[in-house]
């Protein structure tokens, strides 16, 4: 399929592991189908939530291929790196695997200047003919993608989206404002700011909470996109306690634990991440217990 717009809900998938640290591909495929059946608009494997930093390159592509094989919705493969040549290799291999689009985290640790940031993304966009999303998450990378750079990149025909996870709504709003004349989608990357991002012209979210509550997240986002902000606010506040709980510790520790509590996955993470602190698990269970299955409300 050809993506020209990113609109709606795209869960940032977890990567399930067996206790020995190997990838649980059966659970991965089952989870991809569960999310697709819940009505999400696409899936994002091997991003930050998918622990891409601890996967080998071959494992990375194996996960992408497994998700593609399991579902008929668009698959946006995380393929970024702090090494431009490495990101280009992962992007090419993801394209060959059949990904519909790419999510590219900005170079972490290196802390490039704006020109280096631009050249990094331009190089990949020139070489890989797939829709690409620029991913700004300075809390993980140590470097913000400034608005001018984001706007310059939006002029490239393959750069069609921007995942905003800086926590700065003013910056998000300016990116939307300055790209309104382009085919360019701005997606919320902070669950708590999805609704505010939509209110200033964002088009959707790459979401952690959607792994646990896909139906509610889809209802929230599409209600807002359809102009029903009263309904969207109701869902936003229902999800608020879980959105906050999923960041009690470093993502994806809490969401993996929530997956285990709900019976969606084994809950294991790879070192240097560890399981959720034991004292927090009862609180997370309580938050989840307060969210009855959405289907039961019909």
Going by the annotation, the residues of the binding site for pyruvate are 49, 206
Is 203 inside a domain boundary? yes
Q: Is the entire prediction scored with pTM above 0.85?
A: yes
Cα distances (Å, whole numbers) of residue 279 to 111, 255, 258, 283, 284 = 36, 16, 14, 8, 10
Q: Does residue 22 fall inside a structural domain?
A: yes
Measured distance CA(171)–CA(251) in Å, rounded = 23
**Exposed / middle / buried, residue 244 (Cβ in 10 Å: 0-12, 13-18, 19+):** middle
Tell me, yes or no, whether 273 lies in a domain.
Answer: no
- Active-site residue list: 135, 163
pLDDT reported for residue 295: 54
Domain count, the chain: 1
Instruction: Give the Cα separation of 230 and 220 in Å (integer).
Output: 10
**How many other CB atoms are found less than 10 A from the CB of residue 59?**
16
Q: What does the radius of gyration of the chain's CA atoms come to, in whole angstroms?
A: 18
Residue-wise pLDDT for 14-60, tens only, equals 999 999 999 999 999 999 999 999 999 999 999 999 999 999 999 99
Range(s) of the domain holding residue 86: 8-228
- For the segment 185-202, the average pLDDT, to the nearest whole number, is 97
Using one digit for the tens of pLDDT, what is the confidence trace for 233-251? Answer: 999 999 999 999 999 999 9
Identify whether 257 is part of a domain.
no
Asked whether residue 216 is domain-assigned, the answer is: yes
pLDDT over 70 (residue 107): yes
CATH of the domain at 38: 3.20.20.70
* 161: in domain: yes
pLDDT tens digits for range 211-222: 999 999 999 999
Judge whether 238 lies within some domain.
Answer: no
Backbone angles phi, psi at 271, to 5 degrees: -55, 140
For residue 102, what are the β-bridge partners?
77, 132
Examine the pLDDT at 292 and tell me if it is beyond 80: no
Q: What is the pLDDT of residues 111-144, one digit of tens each?
A: 999 999 999 999 999 999 999 999 999 999 999 9
Is position 175 within any domain? yes
Parallel/antiparallel/unpaired status of strands 159-164 and 101-105: unpaired
Closest to 138 in 3D by CA, of 172, 108, 114 = 108
Among 124, 133, 105, 98, residue whose Cα is nearest residue 10: 133
Q: In the predicted model, is pLDDT for residue 298 greater than 80?
A: no
pLDDT tops 60 at residue 2? no
Q: Cis check for the bond before 252: say yes or no (omega within 30 of 0).
A: yes
């Amino acid at each position: 399929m050809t993506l020209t717009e990113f609109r709606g809900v795209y869960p940032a998938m977890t990567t399930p592991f067996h206790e020995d640290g190997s990838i649980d591909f059966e659970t991965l495929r089952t989870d991809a189908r569960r999310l697709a059946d819940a009505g999400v608009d696409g899936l994002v494997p091997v991003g930050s939530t998918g622990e891409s930093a601890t996967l080998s390159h071959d494992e990375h592509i194996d996960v992408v291929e497994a998700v593609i094989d399991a579902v008929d919705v668009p698959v946006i493969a995380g393929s970024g790196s702090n090494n431009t040549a490495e990101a280009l290799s992962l992007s090419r291999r993801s394209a060959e695997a059949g990904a519909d689009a790419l999510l590219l985290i900005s170079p972490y640790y290196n802390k490039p200047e704006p020109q280096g940031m631009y050249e990094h993304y331009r190089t990949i966009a020139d070489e890989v003919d797939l829709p690409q999303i620029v991913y700004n998450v300075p809390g993980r990378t140590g470097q913000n993608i400034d608005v001018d750079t984001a706007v310059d990149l939006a002029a490239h025909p393959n750069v069609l989206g921007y995942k905003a996870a800086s926590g700065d709504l003013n910056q998000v709003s300016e990116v939307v404002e300055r790209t309104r004349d382009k085919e360019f989608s701005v997606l919320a990357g902070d669950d708590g700011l999805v609704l505010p991002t939509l209110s200033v012209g964002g088009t959707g979210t790459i979401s952690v909470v959607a792994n646990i509550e896909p139906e509610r997240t889809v209802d929230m986002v599409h209600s807002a996109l359809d102009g029903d902000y009263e309904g969207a606010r109701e869902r936003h506040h229902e999800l608020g306690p879980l959105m906050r709980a999923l960041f009690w510790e470093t993502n994806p520790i809490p969401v993996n634990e929530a997956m285990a509590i709900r019976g969606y996955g084994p809950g294991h993470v790879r070192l240097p991440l560890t399981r959720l602190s034991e004292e927090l698990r009862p609180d997370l269970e309580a938050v989840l217990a307060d969210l009855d299955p959405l289907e039961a409300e019909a």
